[in-house]
């Protein structure tokens, strides 16, 4: 269990220089710092982010809503506000504080589009607000899925809701008219990089009503994150660390051994179900164009 500590932030929104790159997000919003989902591969543990005690403490910016009101009122460009890049906006502290939900209400009030990335079905509590945003602008939700095997997810994402719960939430949002899809990254080399896993994610996502799957068949490893991940490998998958060290050394970008082949498979499978695999969908939405997939 993480300790929850309340803090006062000075500023909240971070402007993104290249909004075409990531779900059309123009402003990044992080209400929580630290995350209770404890994924063994989480990049936010990297030394470069300087988040002390990532696994033991969640910092809650309790003045976030006040700041958001102030900062949105000053924005001249109504770009998409995205959350979920550094910590999950539906980490368990959200049950108590409800700040992500309140932030979405502020976005609805100022008519800003929103994009959420999460591993949690807790997002369903904010369904009505997401619909309100969708009616005025655009609301999209990407659920991260690295496997659809609940037992494996329990090992590699021990604190996060089960993939089956995420898929059920995806289906409910899709039925309610929210643009939903899957962020399939990382795909852990030598653990999750099998054709069966790729096919199963695509199939289950399609059945749930996903309109897109954004993949990365591999993972990143940086100082800080790497040590934690390797210690977990020693515990969960004895012997794998040596394979990683031999294959990747100190590299940041660690593609799965069969990445190209699996990417081709993913694209073929997604095409079968009519799901997008890149950000064109979001770029078009930013430009106000109507796409077939909407
Ligand atoms: S849900 Fe995201 S932010 Fe939270 S631990 Fe997992 S990878 Fe990190």
| Whether the predicted pLDDT of 191 surpasses 50 | yes
Q: Which residues line ligand 1 (CB under 6 A)?
A: 35, 37-39, 42, 44, 87-88, 119, 160
The residue to mutate among 87, 94, 158, having the most atoms of ligand 1 within 8 angstroms of its beta carbon, is 87
| Whether the predicted pLDDT of 293 surpasses 50 | no
Token pair of 155, please?
């090992």
* pLDDT of amino acid 19: 61
Nearest CA-CA partner of 259 in 183, 182, 194: 194
Instruction: Report how far apart the first and last C-alpha atoms of the chain are (Å, whole number).
Output: 40
* pLDDT of amino acid 294: 39
Q: Ligand 1: which residue has its CA nearest to atom 6?
A: 39
Task: Convert the pLDDT of each residue in 10-34 to its tens digit.
Answer: 999 999 887 667 888 999 999 999 9
Domain ranges of the chain: 9-286
Domain 9-286 has CATH 3.20.20.70: yes
Phi/psi of residue 151, nearest 5 degrees:
-70, -40
Task: Convert the pLDDT of each residue in 194-234 to its tens digit.
Answer: 999 999 999 999 999 999 999 999 999 999 999 999 999 99
* pLDDT of amino acid 267: 97
In this prediction, residue 290 has a pLDDT band, given cuts at 50, 70 and 90, of very low
What proportion of the chain, given as a percentage, has pLDDT over 70?
Answer: 95
Specify burial of residue 4 (Cβ count, 10 A radius: 0-12, 13-18, 19+): middle
Task: Convert the pLDDT of each residue in 81-105 to its tens digit.
Answer: 999 988 999 999 999 999 999 999 9
Task: Convert the pLDDT of each residue in 34-79 to its tens digit.
Answer: 999 999 999 999 999 888 888 889 999 999 999 999 999 898 888 9
| Whether the predicted pLDDT of 292 surpasses 60 | no
Number of H helices, E strands in the chain: 11, 12
Average pLDDT over all residues of the chain: 93
CA quadruple 170, 154, 122, 25: dihedral, nearest 10: -60
In this prediction, residue 2 has a pLDDT band, given cuts at 50, 70 and 90, of confident
11: left (phi over 0), alpha (psi -120 to 50) or beta: beta
């Amino acid at each position: 269990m993480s300790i929850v500590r309340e803090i006062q932030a000075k500023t909240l929104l971070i402007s993104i220089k290249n909004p075409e790159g990531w779900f059309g997000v123009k402003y990044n919003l992080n209400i929580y710092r630290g995350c209770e989902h404890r994924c063994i591969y989480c990049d936010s543990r990297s030394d470069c982010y300087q988040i002390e005690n990532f696994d033991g403490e969640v910092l809650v910016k309790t003045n976030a809503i006040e700041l958001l009101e102030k900062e949105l009122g000053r924005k001249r460009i109504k770009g998409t506000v995205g959350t979920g890049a550094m910590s999950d906006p539906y980490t368990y502290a959200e049950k108590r504080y409800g700040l992500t939900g309140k932030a979405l209400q502020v976005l609805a009030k100022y008519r800003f589009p929103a994009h959420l990335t999460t591993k949690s079905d807790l997002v369903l509590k904010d369904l009505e607000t997401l619909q309100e945003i969708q009616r005025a602008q655009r609301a999209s939700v990407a659920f991260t899925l690295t496997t659809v095997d609940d037992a494996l997810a329990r090992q590699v994402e021990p604190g996060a809701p089960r993939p089956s719960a995420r898929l059920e939430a995806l289906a409910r949002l899709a039925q309610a008219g929210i643009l939903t899809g899957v962020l399939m990254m990382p795909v852990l080399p030598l653990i999750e990089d099998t054709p069966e896993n790729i096919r199963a994610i695509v199939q289950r996502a399609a059945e749930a009503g996903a309109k897109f799957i954004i993949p990365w068949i591999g993972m990143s490893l940086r100082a800080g994150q790497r040590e934690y991940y390797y210690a977990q490998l020693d515990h969960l998958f004895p012997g794998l660390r040596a394979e990683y060290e031999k294959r990747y050394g100190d590299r940041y970008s660690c593609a799965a051994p069969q990445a190209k082949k699996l990417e081709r498979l993913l694209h073929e499978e997604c095409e079968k179900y009519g799901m997008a695999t890149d950000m064109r969908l979001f770029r078009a939405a930013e430009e106000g164009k109507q796409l077939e997939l909407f």
